[in-house]
Structures are given as structure tokens and as C-alpha cells.
Amino acid sequence: MPGPDGPTTAEELGVLVKQTQSVLHLRMDDALRPFALRVPQYACLQALADDPGSTGSELARRAFVSRQSMNVLLQGLEGRGLVERSADPGPRRERTTTLTPQGRDVVDRARGAVAEVADAMVAPLSPADRPRLRTLLVTCRDALLAGEGSAGG
């Protein structure tokens, strides 16, 4: 509930987190442009680098897009020769996806560009503040996840 003089500290923090995420997304898109990638495509390739053989549903969750959007995204990446999808569906009729050697090369090079953006974001923080910020953000995320089944959540 807003305070008598405006938004609560919690509301302000929520807005700040969203603003930070939005600017981070824009900067990452800028950094990924030379690789002809957008953030969701990079997130997909990165997820496949970390966990080869993921399904479209798994990739959609990791890239924060719908399953339908992930299917379109995968078709584009497959057309560019960056990923391969299995011919045979597995459990739940989903096909697994893996990086091609070209896809591995692109994600490895793009990872450096994304790391530069992340490094610039945390550069003003002291080395001691970085793990503390991580802990605080994880705590906030987990609090929201724990409230998913509650009213308004």
C-alpha cells in the first residue's frame, strides 16, 4: 500500500529493479548486434551451451519467452545453422536442441560482449558489494516465487 507521501520503499525498489533490467536488456541488445542476435536468442544459445539437448519448453523458461515464441526463435537459429533439433520427439513429444559448431563459436564470442555489459553495470560497486547484491536479489526473487500461489501473486 502506498505511503501517505507517495510510493513505499518497496515500490521504489521494484521500479528500480525493472528500470535496471530494461537498461541492461537494451545494452545487451546493442552488444549482441554485431552477432546478429537479440537477448532472447543469446539466452537460448547460452542455455544450450550450458545444457545441451534442452527442449523448447526448457529453453523458453530460461529465455523468459513463451513456448510459441521459442519455437519461432529456434526455427530462425536453425535456419542460420546455429542449432540442430532432433528429428525424433522425445518424452512429451518435444524435440531436443543442440548447438552446432558454428552456434558454439557465436555464443562463445557473444558471451564476451555480454560480459563487458555486465562488468560495466557492476563496475561502480566494491568487490564486497557484488556478492551482497547477488544475495539480496536472490532473496527477493525467492520471496516472489514462494508467493506464486497466494492471492495477487
* Residue-level pLDDT at 75: 95
Predicted confidence (pLDDT) per residue in 61-95, tens digit: 999 999 999 999 999 999 999 999 988 766 667 88
Residue 153's pLDDT band (cuts 50, 70, 90): very low
- Look up the pTM and report it: 0.84
Q: Which residues, at least 6 apart from 123, have a Cβ–Cβ distance to it below 8 Å?
A: none
Residue % of the chain over a pLDDT of 90: 80
How far is residue 57's CA from residue 44's CA, in Å, rounded to a whole number?
A: 11
pLDDT digits 0-9 by tens, 93-122:
788 999 999 999 999 999 999 999 999 999
